[in-house]
A and B are shown apart, each in its own frame.
Chain A
Amino acid sequence: MAKTILAVDDSASIRQMVAFTLKGAGYDVVEAADGQDGLDKAKSKSINLVLTDQNMPKMDGLTLIKSLRALPQYKTVPILMLTTEAGDDMKAQGKAAGATGWLVKPFDPQKLLDVVKKVLG
């Protein structure tokens, strides 16, 4: 059964690119436009990996991560932050929120696939 990845980003073009890339590699992809949307979708579907942007309207990435970690079914699911800032503070916050790791934007599709493979296999 294919693994399902939740891609959360308020930019439609980024979401499309990520979805296209991951689907091409055989994963199922669920898209969400902001943290709240992502949380709702995560609750209603079984997700194997979450990719989330940080700056989004309604609910930002860190809050989404914290909210997901508070759900029993998402305590150990890998969550990666997509961030344009690779600074220490953002990483510290991500780690504190419960993220599994990070990926710096802009990234090229191949890198995305490498990272996802590392995590999901």
Chain B
Amino acid sequence: MSIDMSQFYQVFFDETAEHLAAMESLLLGLDIESPDLDDLNAIFRAAHSIKGGSGTFGFTDMTAVTHVLETLLDRLRKVELQITDEMVDTFLQAGDVLKAQLDGHQSGGAEVDQQAVDEVCAKLERLARDAAPAGTVAASAAPDQASPHSAEQVYEVRVEYAQDAASTDPQTLLDALGALGRVEMAAGADAAAGKLVMKFATAAGEDEIRDTLAFFVQPEQVSIAPANNAAAQTEDVGYGFFDDVVVPQAAAAEDDGYGFFVEPDAIKSQVEDAQGYGFFEEAASPQPAEVVTNIEIESPARSNGRRTVDDPTVTAAKVGRRDHDKVAVAASSADASSIRVSIEKVDQLINLVGELVITQAMLAQTASGVDPVLYETLLNGMAQLDRNTRDLQESVMSIRMMPISFVFSRFPRVVRDLAGKLGKQVELKTIGEGTELDKGLIEKIADPLTHLVRNSLDHGIELPEKRLAAGKDAKGTITLRASHQGGNIVIEVGDDGAGLNREKILSKALERGLAVGDHMSDQEVWQLIFAPGFSTADVVTDVSGRGVGMDVVKRNIEGMGGRVEIASETGYGSKITIRLPLTLAILDGMSVAVGEEIFILPLTYIVESFQPPQEDVKTVSGQGRVVHVRGEYLPLVALHEAFNMTPKVAEPHRGILVILESDGSKVALFVDGLVGQHQVVIKSLESNFRRVPAVSGATIMGDGKVALILDVAALVRLNRH
């Protein structure tokens, strides 16, 4: 019966991806000085599971890598070896390689960098060979557990011994050899005739082997020859029964892959007889079995698997100690407590709820005009509807909310790798990982955040010597903090590094012909780094310095409806604060009227609004109008001019000025009047019409009319030039 294995592939891919993620996370959290044994075991199990699965489903490239990985991990979890930073780095690289191989299989045969694969395997083997034994374990009795590809020699050792009582017990002979290397019984052995044939993998030389055997047998009874194949890794026998009866002399040919400790028929009869114990029925076995049992389990021709050193006490202590394994539990309980839903369905649902909110608003508007006494029940119903709609909206929005840990989780690795590369010591702190934000934002915030973190690492945190010289701790700290503030999510990227250098920025700006001067406030100077192509780095590295980053970061964040702020203190550090609306779909806005139209201004940009006295509005030749506000002169932008409309109010002192702030600059927007403050559902103008400059979206008001939402940042920018 042939079974189509490919139906299980997707489960294996998902499972392996989780194992790899768990492995990386645990590795990053390891304390080299005193590694947590539970964690080491979990890492081992992850690699072991990947090996098992990949072997079963035929992904042998991954089996090869995980085998080497697992061998070293096994020794580490049994505390036979000392773990080093280099090992952890190599394990991380092995994880990367496995991920690449997995991706290759998942996407159907993409190119995998074979050189990287080979390098990692070679490194792992070298580490296993050179590793220092763990202090507490007496490793002398342990056979060398280096991986099959090690530089040991493999010999074929034949020993013939006499059967009489005076001669040696084959088991002691095997034990002695075991101290020097790995013994595997090979084909051709004949226990009954007193012949032992083994494949012996050892770093010891032939002489040493002979010396050892000389204790037990006469030299002429021993023959040693180098074997061709590397340590018999081939598990050509796939099974076995513990009952030696099933071990006939011709057993050499049985490559079956399984085995029984009890004769299968005996099992059945046992079950039927309901006898008590009686498992390993050696009584029924013929003569050869006696000699065979002396050699402990194995019959000669059996599986040539690896012989593992298993310290029973260590294993026993560990068994059952692990009270929870997050990955496994999450994977299995994920079926019970969550459902996978396609993004399109969720977006569709959000859209429909948005429509519902608009309709409800229109109804509310209409209902507000009726006689409250006559239509009391109707109005009560409307109030109820209002509450229900609001609740529904919140609920639906929360479906797309995910904790920011999804983004933060990648940074330990980024920081570790980059700090290593730059020769800096950096600790990453994350606060508020559970803070939730819309899934769409999560995807968009990842790149800007990565850029900011890399910047902190590259430009912010100084080299250890410099830090010590400045009286700081040699280890710098980068802090990622997320929190909810009002209707926004606030993400901070901070470092305790050198801070921004005002002089450097000013001189670079002058170099590039930007209009700057010493009169500029610190805030204004910091804003300069957002200019396209700006960089004060002396050396352009592949990490940063090319100056393409910060302006893209700013644009991306503003594109999400958010804002970026910089705070810095020279010598102490810097902090970038990103403010994003909690959801892309709803906006707190102020509606303003110009002519017959209504426009929406996002509340986050509004500083204040007022009606100016006539004398405060001045005209500057060549630059348009300005308004005097508390000592400052702000440029005046008439919305009706910007959009070429006929206003109801033509003079600023008879209309309203709304002061807007973006990027550290302020602008006074002249409109006919304020209408009100609302929460509006944002509809995309681009997908329903086309992209319009200075407009970031649209919404449908309660009366059914469309109102445009202004892109304040763009307005301010336009005005500057």
Contacts and interface: CB of A to CB of B under 8 A. Distances in A.
Given A55-B45, A95-B280, A100-B279, A107 B238 contact: yes
A95 B257 contact: no
A101 B261 contact: yes
A24 B49 contact: no
Given A17-B5, A60-B319, A88-B296, A101 B259 contact: yes
A16 interface: yes
Interface in B282-324: 296-298, 302-310, 312, 315, 319-320, 322-324
Contact of A91 (B242, B262, B309, B319): B242
A109 to B, nearest CB: 5
Nearest to B307: A87
Interface in A62-121: 62-63, 75-78, 80, 84-95, 98-107, 109-111, 113-115, 118-119, 121
Interface stretch (B268-276, B485-493, B494-502): B268-276
Interface string A1-34: 0000000001111101100110011000000011
Given A86-B303, A102-B239, A102-B258, A75 B45 contact: no
A98 B241 contact: no
Which of A16, A77, A84 has the most C-beta atoms of chain B within 10 angstroms of its own C-beta? A84
A103 B261 CA distance: 11
Contacts of A118: 260, 264
Interface string B37-50: 00000101100110
Contact of B258 (A56, A75, A115): A115
Contacts, number: 189
B206 to A, nearest CB: 24
Given A24-B3, A100-B261, A104-B305, A76 B270 contact: yes
A104 B303 contact: yes
A113 B257 CA distance: 12
B183 to A, nearest CB: 9
A59 B310 contact: no
B460 to A, nearest CB: 40
B601 to A, nearest CB: 52
B600 to A, nearest CB: 50
Nearest to A120: B268
Interface stretch (B8-16, B132-140, B525-533): B8-16
Contacts of A98: 279
Given A91-B242, A115-B258, A58 B297 contact: no
Nearest to B55: A106
Contact of B331 (A12, A60, A107, A119): A12
B610 interface: no
Nearest to B63: A106
A80 B260 CA distance: 8
B320 A111 contact: no
B714 to A, nearest CB: 50
A15 B511 CA distance: 66
B328 interface: yes
A81 B5 CA distance: 22
A106 B240 contact: no
B312 A111 contact: no
A56 B296 CA distance: 26
Contact of B56 (A12, A17, A80, A101): A17
B375 interface: no
6 contacts: A24-B1, A78-B271, A84-B51, A91-B242, A95-B242, A111-B239
State the 9 A-B residue pairs at the shortest beta-carbon distance, nearest first. A86-B305, A101-B260, A106-B55, A86-B303, A57-B325, A13-B12, A106-B56, A104-B238, A103-B258
Given A99-B242, A111-B239, 5 more contacts: A12-B331, A56-B45, A89-B310, A100-B242, A109-B2
